[in-house]
Structure 1
Amino acid sequence: MSNNFTTTPDIVSYGIGRQMGDQLASDPFEGINAQAVAAGVIDSLEGTESPVSQEAFAKAFEEINEIMQAKQAELAKVAGVEGEEFLAANAQKDGVFVTDSGLQYEIIIAGEGALPTADSVVSTHYHGTLIDGTVFDSSVERGQPAEFPVNRVIAGWTEALQIMPQGSKWRLYVPQELAYGSQGSGAKIAPFSALIFDVELLNIIS
């Protein structure tokens, strides 16, 4: 397929299609057919009658949804068990502190600045992974610190930041109940996933 999109309408058209594709790619179902997706878009824009009835689509969509829910439930079960086993072993390691809530942390750099409060806005650099090392989010990789209120992030972060002096860099091991719990987050973080973050508290903004 030609990709010589040089006119303004062509560029915008491709960009819209790309956004749709990115959205589908971020949460795909098994067997997704890119050609069928493109055909559906083309038929809609050209006013062509759909070769697929609403009844057939609804039935097939329900079947795919059931398959995806079953797969997600299995992934969640595995993630929950693996997370508990990982945290139980990790808690026994030298240099790992465990709070009453179950949050675990290691002090990489011990800062000596002020402590944020729940109402503070802070600037941090962070690198977040699953327990298998898969990166799901990283301000370090983006090269741009993140600013946010301490009380507007996951519970594990809110707790840690209030005992982390400015200038500190800690590694957080966050149990699923202090992270995204049964909901998970997007396609990368399954429900009941324990998470690991390297967090550097750069500044207390307010």
Structure 2
Amino acid sequence: MAVELPTVAGSFGETPEITYPSPDAPRGLKVVMLEEGTGTVVHAGDEVEVNYHGQIWDGELFDSSYFRGEPTRFPIGVGMVIKGWDQALVGKQVGSRVMIVVPPEKGYGPAGNPRAGIKGDDVLVFVVDILGVNQTAFSTHSIR
């Protein structure tokens, strides 16, 4: 039986709408390229600028930079964000829209994130638009 993943309405730059196929989440990290960009490739250690929309599987929205009206920036691939993001975004290109289904062990772990309303067994779904990348001294491609 094939794993059914959510569908996403909206294009790059638009606030996504996520529709769930069933109340049962798949196991493991799932990364789906919704729109492939043609810009700079993201490397571990780069600072990425993204817009993102985060929901608990078949549940509540817990965070969205689209609704704040301001993208966010952070180092990627170096443990500064959840493991699911580090693994899913490195190697993607600027201009990409990516859906990431994150199991608890690659998200916030058994403790969850109570401030965001995330329990330790919640599967998270993110839609991420990669807006830009800044190479840093810590980028893996800048080490010779």
Same topology, TM > 0.5: yes
Higher RCO structure, 1 or 2 (CA under 8 Å, sep 6+): 2
Q: Report runs of 4+ in structure 1 exceeding 4 Å deviation.
A: none
Question: Structure 1 vs Structure 2: percent identity of aligned residues?
Answer: 35
SS of aligned partner of 1:160: helix
Where does residue 127 of structure 1 map in the other structure? 53
Where does residue 87 of structure 1 map in the other structure? 26
**Aligned-pair distance for 1:106?**
1.9
Structure that is richer in strand per residue: 2
Letter in 2 for 1:138: S
- In structure 1, stretches of 5+ residues that fail to align are 1-82, 89-101
For 2:114 and 2:44, the matched residues in 1 are separated by: 26
TM-score, structure 1 length as denominator?
0.51
Letter in 2 for 1:157: W
Within-5 A mapping of 1:170-185: 170-185=98-113
Kindly name which structure, 1 or 2, has the bigger radius of gyration based on alpha carbons.
1
For 1:144 and 1:134, the matched residues in 2 are separated by: 21
Where does residue 76 of structure 1 map in the other structure? none
How many correspondences in the alignment?
111
For 1:204 and 1:133, the matched residues in 2 are separated by: 31
Structure that is richer in helix per residue: 1
- In structure 2, stretches of 5+ residues that fail to align are 1-22, 136-144
Where does residue 87 of structure 2 map in the other structure? 159
SS of aligned partner of 1:183: coil
Letter in 2 for 1:87: P
Where does residue 124 of structure 2 map in the other structure? 195
Where does residue 9 of structure 2 map in the other structure? none
Within-5 A mapping of 1:104-115: 104-115=30-41
